[in-house]
Amino acid sequence: MADIPTGLLALILTVITTLHLAGYYIFFYINLEKIENHLCDIEMFSLNREFYGDSFLGRRMRETFVMLVAVAPEIFWRQERIPRQKLLKLPPRLLWGVRIVYGSMIFISVYGGLLYYFRAPHG
């Protein structure tokens, strides 16, 4: 098997990261308010919207919260129990969109870590 140059692997990682960031931004730019409107009966969504607002960093915080609720709603058990029927109000297309964005973040992190571990000079 031919040895793939590290520079090529780094270029692939850069392209994948750029595509992920563009897709992440476009997906949430179009769908953040739709997702929040579907899940408006969860009290924490209205609190986050009021607290963080529509500034650039406020939208990023709201996007992160949406992603956490869609992927692992059980982590918010101290603030509010989020029953499954509330999450089922979100259309599957939007729910899977959020999960794909989250999964691609994990994939890129693992890919970058493995690239560093196996290709960087150690010692």
Per-residue pLDDT, 118: 83
**Is residue 100 in a domain?**
yes
The pLDDT, as a whole number, for residue 123 is: 61
Q: Is 53 contained in some domain?
A: yes
Residue 123 counted as domain residue:
no
Q: Does residue 14 sit within a domain? A: no
Provide the H-helix boundaries in the chain.
6-38, 43-52, 56-71, 84-87, 92-119
Question: What's the total number of domains in the chain?
Answer: 1
Residue 9, in any domain of the structure: no
Where helices occur in 72-91 by DSSP H, the ranges are 84-87
What percentage of the chain exceeds 70 in pLDDT?
Answer: 94
Instruction: Report the alpha-carbon distance of residue 70 to residue 62 in Å, rounded.
Output: 12
Helix (H, G, I), strand (E, B), or coil: what is residue 70?
helix
Domain span at 52: 19-118
Residue 121 has a pLDDT of 74
**7 is a domain residue:** no
Residue with tokens 């949430």: 28
Predicted confidence at residue 2, as pLDDT, reads 63
Q: Which residues in the chain come in under a pLDDT of 70? A: 1-2, 77, 79, 122-123
Q: Say what the pTM is.
A: 0.80
Q: Is residue 103 part of a domain?
A: yes
